[in-house]
């Protein structure tokens, strides 16, 4: 029996917009075990990002239970949430969100800068290790403007890996990339999954979802489907099938 | 460890925004430099006034009749005569805090030698007047006490008089000059003193025995003033008090009566002048502080823009685990680094400006360590103060909204 990485129960998130209340999440429950690769799908506005932000402790639910690594995330103050983000979560954004004019290495080191337990040498070693994992060992000193979109997203993935998080959360991580590069990124995620990483991946392309082993579909803040994938595609093989553009 | 990391982050941000940082610093630099330079000018002029007054004899005490001072009021003859030779003698014998005492009677008129003449003043004094004024004689000698007793017609003259009546460069010693109608034999020449603080030519003077001036020139038997020197500068206030006690007794003046004389010390003059230049200094500092304040507002402005500009960056830092305090400290350190670096450059610039003022414009300046400490302190405090508000704003941001900020 694998450990539970993420557990939510009756999670609700309401946004008050003056008089109106937007129910972004209307009481959803699920459990994600360690080592699962879950995609969250749904139409625009269905609440995917809201859910992921909550899972990433960037946002607090209006009600319900959320436990990460068996730690209940409720009534935690800002600093405690920051600590959880720093130690247990790796977040990957659609827009990469790298610091401009800052090298890949320094970008990846960033989360560890806020962890006082990590020394300067260890920080550097771990950042290099993470960048090597995503295949950018040769680009340590390149700044974002000197890297392609795919490479920038790899740097962002390396940054999310560097703190050895309980779970990797990716919000439309392939949203800005072409098909080939998206597949390359998915191949990387599958590789990380094979190494035992827990991944929650938000996308609205079913094509991308088919690389994961479980898909949760949201609609208007409710879960309408939660299926185990039987036909998991292999991104590396798919990639080989796509003719290289010349 | 944490501070070290934050220092690194702040330092990086400064390096990445060199031009902007430099422009921000400019305000601080100018502020600090002008505080130092202006204080140096203020302090310098204060000291130069002080030393000029001291050169006039800083322990000098003057006793004079009171009525003479009341301009516009018809002077009472008896009051004008309130200072007598007896007063002088009593002061000489009774005052313990006075070293030299000299009576003084002044007259004005033409100094004549051959075909040349020159309008000037004659001071009737005793020989120790030179000690009181800290003057000396370059050639010849001062008249003696015997010459005072005998009311000898001898004179010691100042450089301006030498220049104006001995026009063909003769040696004045031993020559006969006239002051008005009275002939005097020149027995000494005073060394050059230049102008005093009030713009008076101190070399335009004839010194003669007071007895001679009283009898031959003024035809009076009272004194116009008595000048004396206190045993030391520190004792001059006490000496003034002592003189008052002696004079009150001699003139039979009781508590509360209006006295018929007044006593002035150089010390008072110095403090009057010091307070004037103190005001000047305060004014200069006020102006400089305004520029320092503007420098501070510059920091706030830049930090504010910087926070806005880097909202997405702040959001990301928060998202990867930075605490509010980390962000606050990062921006605060940035503000402090800017203001301290600006402060150091400002101190250097202020010192160089002062050096230039001193050596090129030849204004008296004096840099005090307190001006450096104060300006530097104020600049560090403005840095913290004006950096704090934008920094706190940054720290309070919500990571998601910050990251979405366009
Ligand atoms: N900060 C907010 N304030 C108010 N309403 C919000 C806020 N964030 C999200 N919402 C609302 O919550 C709902 C869900 O938004 P969310 O961003 O989670 O959708 P999504 O599934 O990620 O959509 P997309 O695929 O377009 O990214 C939307 O109706 C949205 O308008
Ligand atoms: Mg979204």
Domain ranges of chain A: 4-241
CB atoms within 10 A of CB B199: 6
pLDDT of residue B77: 42
What Cα–Cα distance (Å) separates residue B86 from each residue in B213, B223, B251, B388?
Answer: 18, 10, 10, 74
Which H, E and C letters describe chain B, residue by residue? CHHHHHHHHHHHHHHHCHHHHHHHHHHHHHHHHHHHHHHHHHHHHHHHHHHHHHHCCCCEEEEEECHHHCCCCCCCHHHHCCCCHHHHHHHHHHCCCEEEEEEEEEEEEEEEECCEEEEEEEEEECCCHHHHHCCCEEEECCCCHHHHHCCCCEEEECHHHHHHHCCCCCCCCCCEEEECCEEEEEEEEECCCCECCCCCECCCEEEEEHHHHHHHHHCCCCCCEEEEEECCCCCHHHHHHHHHHHHHHHHCCCCCCCCCEEEEEHHHHHHHHHHHHHHHHHHHHHHHHHHHHHHHHHHHHHHHHHHHHCHHHHHHHHHCCCCHHHHHHHHHHHHHHHHHHHHHHHHHHHHHHHHHHHHHHCCCCCCCHHHHHHHHHHHHHHHHHHHHHHHHHHHCCCHHHHHHCC
Helix (H, G, I), strand (E, B) or coil at A140: coil
Q: Which of B196, B202, B121, B198 is nearest to B159 (CA)?
A: B202
Distance CA B251, CA B79 (A): 12
> What is the pTM (predicted TM-score) of this model?
0.71
**Test site for ligand 1: of A43, A48, A55, most ligand atoms within 8 A of the Cβ:** A48
Q: What is the pLDDT of residues B6-39, one digit of tens each?
A: 888 888 888 888 888 888 888 888 888 988 888 8
Q: What is the pLDDT of residues B182-236, one digit of tens each?
A: 999 999 999 988 776 566 788 899 999 999 999 998 888 889 889 998 888 778 8
Q: Which of B342, B334, B318 is nearest to B17 (CA)?
A: B334
Q: Is the CB of A22 under 6 A from ligand 1?
A: yes
Q: Is the CB of A219 under 6 A from ligand 1?
A: no
**Terminal alpha carbon distance of chain B:** 33
With 70 as the cut, is the pLDDT of residue A154 above it?
A: yes
Q: Is the CB of A13 under 6 A from ligand 1?
A: no
Q: Is the CB of A44 under 6 A from ligand 1?
A: yes
Q: How confident is the model at residue A28 (pLDDT cuts 50, 70, 90)?
A: very high
pLDDT of residue A137: 94
Q: CA-nearest residue of chain B to A159? A: B320
What Cα–Cα distance (Å) separates residue B168 from each residue in B3, B115, B163, B188?
Answer: 81, 12, 9, 18
How far A110 CA sits from the closest chain B CA (Å)? Answer: 8
Q: Which of B10, B320, B324, B392 to mutate to test the interface with A (most CBs of A within 10 A)?
A: B320
Calculate how far, in angstroms, residue A173's C-alpha sits from the geometric centre of ligand 2. Answer: 11
Calculate how far, in angstroms, residue A221's C-alpha sits from the geometric centre of ligand 1. Answer: 10
pLDDT of residue B68: 47
With 60 as the cut, is the pLDDT of residue B78 above it?
A: no
Q: Which of A106, A110, A116 sits opposite B320 (nearest CB)?
A: A110
pLDDT of residue B317: 94
Q: How confident is the model at residue B279 (pLDDT cuts 50, 70, 90)?
A: confident
- Under 8 Å CB-to-CB from A29, ≥6 apart: which residues? A8, A9, A10, A11, A64, A223
- Under 8 Å CB-to-CB from B7, ≥6 apart: which residues? B333
Q: Which of B201, B161, B192, B193 is nearest to B177 (CA)?
A: B161
Average pLDDT in chain B: 85
Helix (H, G, I), strand (E, B) or coil at A133: helix
Nearest CA owner, ligand 1 atom 18: A47
Helix (H, G, I), strand (E, B) or coil at A225: strand
Q: Is the CB of A153 under 6 A from ligand 1?
A: no
Indicate the CATH number for domain A4-241: 3.40.50.300
The number of the ligand 1 atom at minimal distance from the alpha carbon of A202 is: 22
Pure H helices in A77-146: 78-88, 104-113, 120-133
Q: What is the pLDDT of residues B86-109, one digit of tens each?
A: 899 999 999 888 889 999 998 889
Q: For residue A116, which residues of chain B lie inside 8 Å, CB to CB? A: 1-2
Instruction: Tell me whether residues A97 and B2 touch, CB distance under 8 A.
Output: no
pLDDT of residue A168: 96
Q: What is the pLDDT of residues A163-187, one digit of tens each?
A: 999 999 999 999 889 999 999 999 9
- What does the domain layout of chain B look like in residue ranges? 3-52+272-404, 99-224
Q: CA-nearest residue of chain B to A89? A: B320
Instruction: Tell me whether residues B321 and A116 touch, CB distance under 8 A.
Output: no
Q: Which of A78, A86, A106 sits opposite B320 (nearest CB)?
A: A86
The ipTM estimated for the assembled molecules is 0.94
Phi, psi of B400 (to 5 degrees): -65, -50
Residues in chain B: 406
Residue B270's DSSP bridge partners are none
Contact residues, chain B to chain A, C-beta under 8 Å: 1-2, 5, 8-9, 12, 16, 312-313, 315-326, 399-400, 403
Q: CA-nearest residue of chain B to A100? A: B313
Q: For residue B325, which residues of chain A lie inside 8 Å, CB to CB? A: 79
Range with the poorest average pLDDT among A93-102, A183-192, B1-10, B269-278: B269-278
Largest CA distance in chain B: 105
Q: Is the CB of A42 under 6 A from ligand 1?
A: yes
């Amino acid at each position: 029996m694998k450990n539970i990485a993420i557990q939510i129960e009756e999670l609700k998130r309401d946004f008050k917009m003056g008089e109106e209340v937007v129910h972004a999440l209307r009481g959803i429950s699920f459990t994600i075990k360690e080592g699962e690769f879950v995609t969250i799908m749904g139409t625009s506005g269905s609440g995917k990002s809201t859910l992921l932000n909550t899972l990433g402790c960037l946002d607090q639910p209006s009600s319900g239970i959320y436990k990460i690594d068996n730690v209940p995330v409720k009534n935690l103050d800002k600093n405690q949430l920051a600590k959880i983000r720093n130690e247990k979560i790796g977040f990957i954004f659609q827009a990469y969100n790298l610091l401009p004019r800052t090298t890949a290495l320094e970008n990846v080191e960033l989360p560890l800068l806020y962890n006082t337990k990590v020394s300067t040498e260890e920080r550097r070693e771990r950042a290099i290790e993470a960048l090597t994992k995503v295949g950018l060992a040769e680009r340590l000193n390149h700044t974002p403007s000197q890297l392609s979109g795919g490479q920038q997203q790899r740097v962002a993935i390396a940054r999310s890996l560097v703190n050895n998080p309980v779970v990797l959360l990716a919000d439309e991580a392939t949203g800005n990339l072409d098909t080939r590069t998206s597949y390359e990124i998915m191949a990387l995620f599958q590789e990380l999954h094979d190494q035992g990483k827990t991944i929650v991946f938000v996308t609205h392309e079913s094509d991308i979802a088919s690389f994961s082993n479980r898909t949760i579909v949201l609609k208007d803040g409710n879960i309408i489907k939660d299926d185990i994938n039987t036909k998991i595609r292999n991104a590396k093989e798919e990639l080989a099938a796509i003719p290289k553009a010349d | 460890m944490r501070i070290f990391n934050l220092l690194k982050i702040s330092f990086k941000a400064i390096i990445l925004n060199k031009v902007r940082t430099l422009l921000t610093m400019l305000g601080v630099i100018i502020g600090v430099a002008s505080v130092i330079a202006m204080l140096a000018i203020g302090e310098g002029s204060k000291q130069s006034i002080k030393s000029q007054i001291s050169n006039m004899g800083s322990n000098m005490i003057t006793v004079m009749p009171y009525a003479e001072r009341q301009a516009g009021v018809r002077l009472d003859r008896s009051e004008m005569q309130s200072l007598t030779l007896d007063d002088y003698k009593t002061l000489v014998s009774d005052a313990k805090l006075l070293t030299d005492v000299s009576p003084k009677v002044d007259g004005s008129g033409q100094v004549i030698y051959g075909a040349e003449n020159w309008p000037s003043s004659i001071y009737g004094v005793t020989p120790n007047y030179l000690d009181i004024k800290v003057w000396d004689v370059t050639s010849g000698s001062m008249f003696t006490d015997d010459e005072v007793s005998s009311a000898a017609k001898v004179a010691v003259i100042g450089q301006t008089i030498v220049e104006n009546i001995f026009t063909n460069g003769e040696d004045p010693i031993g020559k006969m000059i006239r002051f008005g109608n009275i002939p005097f034999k020149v027995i000494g020449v005073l060394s050059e003193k230049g102008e005093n603080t009030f713009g008076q030519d101190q070399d335009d003077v004839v010194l003669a025995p007071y007895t001679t001036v009283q009898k031959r020139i003024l035809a009076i038997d009272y004194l116009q003033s008595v000048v004396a020197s206190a045993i030391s500068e520190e004792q001059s206030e006490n000496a003034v008090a002592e003189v008052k006690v002696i004079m009150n007794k001699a003139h039979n003046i009781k508590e509360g009566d209006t006295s018929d004389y007044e006593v002035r010390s150089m010390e008072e003059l110095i403090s009057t002048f010091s307070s004037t230049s103190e005001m000047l200094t305060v004014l200069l500092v006020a102006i400089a502080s305004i520029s320092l304040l503007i420098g501070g507002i510059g920091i706030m402005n830049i930090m504010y823009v910087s926070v806005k500009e880097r909202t997405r960056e702040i959001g990301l830092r928060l998202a990867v685990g930075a605490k509010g305090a980390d962000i606050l400290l990062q921006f605060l350190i940035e503000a402090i680094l800017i203001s301290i670096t600006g402060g150091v450059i400002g101190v250097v610039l202020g010192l160089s400006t002062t050096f230039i003022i001193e050596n090129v414009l030849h204004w008296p300046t004096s840099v005090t360590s307190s001006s450096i400490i104060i300006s530097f302190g104020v600049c560090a405090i403005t840095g913290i103060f004006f950096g704090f508000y934008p920094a706190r704003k940054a720290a309070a941001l919500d990571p998601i909204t910050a990251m979405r900020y366009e």
